[in-house]
Amino acid sequence: MEEPFSLSQAVKELLDTAAQRDATNNQLKLIRRKQSEQEDKIKNGMSSQNLRVVRVLQHPSGPHDVHLQTKRRKITQFTKTRLSDLLEQYKDQTLDDDLSNKILATMNEPDFKEEEKIAIKKIGKS
């Protein structure tokens, strides 16, 4: 025979589950922060030694390659400061079609940002 539904018991279980989820999320946040700090240290170390790949052969999870990748990312955000800096160049000029086209052409030129990233790849058996 089934027990009758107890609202108070169900609410307590819900609160326990929510507390457990919050604790897990906090723990994950700490793990992510620690991993980010470790990646920054590794990126700086590999850059200073001019290394692109570090191979780890002895690890409980198996052999891995740690790659330092440099990616060029296009930045095309129209921010207030970028627009202000651009318009500052043409401060004392009269806005006509030529100047307007020149400003728009400059705004459409993408800026690039280089960022370094760590990629971990497991070495498979061939």
What tens digit of pLDDT does each residue of 23-48 get? Answer: 999 999 999 999 999 999 999 999 99
Query: pLDDT by residue (tens digit) across 72-111?
Result: 887 766 778 877 888 888 888 888 888 888 888 877 777 7
Please check whether residue 110 is in contact with residue 77, taking contact to mean a CB–CB distance below 8 angstroms.
no
| H or E stretch covering 45 | helix 7-48
- pTM here is 0.59
